Amino acid sequence: MKLPKDILTIPQLSRQNIERILFEAFKFKEYRGAPKARDQVLEGKSIALIFEKNSLRTRVAFEAAVSYLGGHPIFLAGDNILYRAKSDTSRESIGDITQNLDRLAHGIAARVNNHKSLTDIAGYSKNPVINLLCDEHHPTQALADLMTIQWHKGKTNGMKVAFIGDGNNVATSLMDICAVMGMDFSIASPAGYEIPKKFQDIAKTIISQTNSKLEFITDPKKAASLADVIYTDTFVSMGDEAESKKRALDFKTYQVTTEIMRCAKSDAIFMHCLPAHRGDEVAAEVMDSKQSVVFDQAECRLHIAKALLYLLYK
């Protein structure tokens, strides 16, 4: 089944789409050496990579993936090109930027502050657009998360994923992919930090067809109970730095500790999208334990990037 032109959110993808992405990602994982002839789908092509936010894993994964597939990645610092305000005459509008890039490159992957920037870019672009992160969603991370679960558990069906912490973009896309794939998802967040209701409602519509179970609670131990996967993310995401002191207090009891891990199944894995802050959202002994698969999870970002680009351009 062909992928949509643009990959902006997980609910845009069908279960068949996601299964195909994972199938190709595992093939890329298996042969990590020199590219094979069939892989050179980006030969003679360039992909514009727009980054408004700092990045390690996403930038390296996509630059490496574009190069692996025979293409040329063009890094563009978002604060140098993206339109900010009507009074800022030194920058072009998103429409003008996109129509230029459509003539100069063969696709756009963007890590931006606001989801609307992505929908605007996609609306103007005739070429594929990939969401590398925005304030609302992080679909490529969720795909890598699913691959990690498949890698370490051998399956995704029947799995329970527990997210402990902020109902942010990572949590939203993880919830979405669990809903699409028929996995149970439980999230424990302090009051006021829940996944936005509009995204909860979308996931609830999806699970009416997939029989997943969703749980939105405040008790971390209850969320972690009998989970196959325990997942957390930083309590202070990029853009939330001004709230760091308040968040430190509000999330004080939400650190993933060995006690939280003991609430899960004995063979549960620990996941984190990174960067991690040992001693804040996760105890050092959990982060560095045998249950932790965070660096395998980071590796999956590369395989997913290759798979997405391969399927979009083959």
Q: Is the residue at 5 inside a domain?
A: no
- The reply to whether 16 and 157 lie within a common domain is no
- The reply to whether 164 and 186 lie within a common domain is yes
Q: Is the residue at 250 inside a domain?
A: yes
pLDDT in tens, 148-206: 999 999 999 999 999 999 999 999 999 999 999 999 999 999 999 999 999 999 999 99
The pLDDT value recorded for residue 90 is 52
pLDDT, averaged across the chain: 95
Q: Where is average pLDDT lowest: 92-101, 235-244, 274-283, 301-310?
A: 235-244
pLDDT value at 83 more than 70:
no
Q: Is the residue at 4 inside a domain?
A: no
Contacts of 193 (CB under 8 A, 6+ apart): 165, 166, 167, 250, 251
- The reply to whether 241 and 129 lie within a common domain is no
Q: Name the residue type at position 215.
A: E
The pLDDT value recorded for residue 34 is 79
Question: Which residue would you say has higher pLDDT here, 122 or 237?
Answer: 122
Contacts of 100 (CB under 8 A, 6+ apart): 92
pLDDT value at 285 more than 60:
yes
- The reply to whether 131 and 169 lie within a common domain is no
- The reply to whether 278 and 303 lie within a common domain is no
- CATH number for the domain that contains residue 80: 3.40.50.1370
Q: Is the residue at 259 inside a domain?
A: yes
Question: Which residue would you say has higher pLDDT here, 33 or 186?
Answer: 186
Q: Name the residue type at position 55.
A: S
Query: What is the domain range of residue 193?
Result: 142-297
- The reply to whether 219 and 196 lie within a common domain is yes
- The reply to whether 157 and 246 lie within a common domain is yes
CA 247 – CA 287 distance, rounded (Å): 21
- Label residue 88 by pLDDT band (50, 70, 90): low
- The reply to whether 153 and 292 lie within a common domain is yes
- The reply to whether 212 and 86 lie within a common domain is no
Q: Is the residue at 1 inside a domain?
A: no
Q: Which residues does the annotation mark as catalytic?
A: 111, 138, 141, 233, 273, 301
- The reply to whether 155 and 129 lie within a common domain is no
CB 112 within 8 A of CB 256: no
- The reply to whether 196 and 96 lie within a common domain is no
Q: Is the residue at 99 inside a domain?
A: yes
Alpha helices by DSSP H, listed for 225-293, are 244-250, 258-263, 284-287
User: Based on the structure, what is the number of domains in the chain?
Assistant: 2
Alpha helices by DSSP H, listed for the chain, are 15-30, 57-68, 78-81, 94-104, 115-124, 139-153, 169-181, 197-210, 220-224, 244-250, 258-263, 284-287, 294-313
Question: Which residue would you say has higher pLDDT here, 255 or 1?
Answer: 255
Provide mean pLDDT across the span 218-240.
92
The pLDDT value recorded for residue 84 is 56
- The reply to whether 208 and 75 lie within a common domain is no
Q: Is the residue at 3 inside a domain?
A: no
Provide mean pLDDT across the span 7-29.
98
The pLDDT value recorded for residue 242 is 76
pTM of the model: 0.96
Q: Is the residue at 2 inside a domain?
A: no
pLDDT value at 214 more than 60:
yes
Provide mean pLDDT across the span 39-56.
96
Q: Where is average pLDDT lowest: 192-206, 233-247, 271-285?
A: 233-247
